[in-house]
Amino acid sequence: MMDGVPPVLDREALSRAPPHAVREAIRERRWTGNTKRLALGFHQANVTIVPERHAFDFMRFCQRNPRSLPLLDVTDPGDPSPPIAAPGADLRTDIPAFCIYRNGVLAERVTDLSAVWRSDHVAFLTGCNLSMDQVLIEAGIAFPHLVREDAFPAQYRSSLAARAAGVFQGPVVLSYRPVPEAQLLRVIELTSRFPLCHGGPVHIGDPSRVGITDLAAIDWGRRPDPAPGTVPCFWACGITAQAAAEASGIPEMITHAPGHMFVTDLPVSDRSFG
């Protein structure tokens, strides 16, 4: 390696790195991509930032919709460091990319929040299905998004309504994975054990039963290409927060960019963090 030139990182190396090393690589822009499979075994988190005046409403929204938004940590107003999930980390710089919603519309995508962060900002960290990766890999479950670099689950606004709280309401967003029939019960069992990673599926089978009439008409993620012999499975998804920003039209909500999560110090194997 040449002086002053940071080493090129690959996903495989970062998958075995500890969480703080992944965050450092992101902070120093040595890693700018999505975070799938990084720091395997540790919770990756959806991040949702709202002004303090909406924070209690949003926290109740998470509490009432724990399948979509299982709470891992909440910051104090103005403090960009999550006290439980990664003390000392900085949410403004330790995430590869952010989406800024204004009045319910995706207005901007940025890679650093330092210039945007205010003393009334509160950040919520909620569990993510990507955190299940290690468990699924070890169980021999080969979801396309785990084995193909360019693959990513598709996500859809469903016909299920999230439980409202204050200004927040909207549809439950579901992520879709086609599961081989022979692995279906095993996948339901494994994912059900991890409520902080959205738990088990909320629907299997006919997508139209949850309001999804065309799997090709994705709302987020990548257009799926389901193999024959697979069963459509749908999990509650953290993008339910972005859908609430859109449906509620609140003046400001900042989130991680889809797939570009905050990597926490919380082990997936530990089910509670008291």
Binding site for a second copy (CB under 8 A): 52, 55-56, 59-60, 63-68, 71, 73-74, 76, 83-84, 163, 165-166, 195, 199, 236, 271-274
Cβ neighbours of residue 185 under 8 Å, at least 6 residues apart? none
User: φ, ψ for residue 186 (rounded to 5)?
Assistant: -65, -40
- Nearest distance, CB of residue 74 and a second copy, angstroms: 5
Tell the smallest beta-carbon distance from residue 140 to a second copy (Å): 26
- Work out how close the CB of 187 gets to a second copy at its nearest, in angstroms, rounded to a whole number: 18
Task: With beta carbons less than 8 A apart as the criterion, state whether 35 and 129 touch.
Answer: no
Provide, rounded to whole angstroms, the least separation between the CB of residue 214 and a second copy: 27
Question: 47 in helix, strand or coil?
Answer: strand
Q: Is 104 buried (19+), middle (13-18) or exposed (0-12) by CB count in 10 A?
A: middle
**CB-nearer residue toward a second copy: 154 or 160:** 160
Q: Token digits for 25?
A: 């690589």
Residues whose CB is less than 8 angstroms from the CB of residue 142 and which lie 6 or more positions away in sequence, other chains included: none
In the bound complex, what is the minimum distance in angstroms from residue 2's beta carbon to a second copy? 45
* Closer Cβ to a second copy, 52 or 112, answer by number: 52
Burial (CB count <10 Å: 0-12, 13-18, 19+), residue 137? middle
Considering beta carbons, is residue 32 or 192 the nearer one to a second copy? 192
CB nearer to a second copy: pick between 41 and 195:
195
- Report the residue number, 26 or 45, with the smaller CB distance to a second copy: 45
Q: Round to whole Å and give the CA distance between 225 and 264.
A: 31
- If DSSP codes are grouped into helix, strand and coil, which group holds residue 273? coil
Do 254 and 101 form a contact (C-beta atoms < 8 A)? yes
Min separation Cβ 50 and a second copy, Å: 11
Nearer to a second copy among residue 60 and residue 222 (C-beta)? 60
From CA 101, how far away is CA 108, in angstroms rounded? Answer: 7
Nearer to a second copy, 68 or 129 (CB): 68
For residue 264, CA distances in Å to 143, 234, 251 come to 23, 25, 28
Neighbours of 145 (CB within 10 A): 24
> Least separation, in Å, of the C-beta of 78 and a second copy?
12
Contact 165, 64 (CB under 8 A): yes
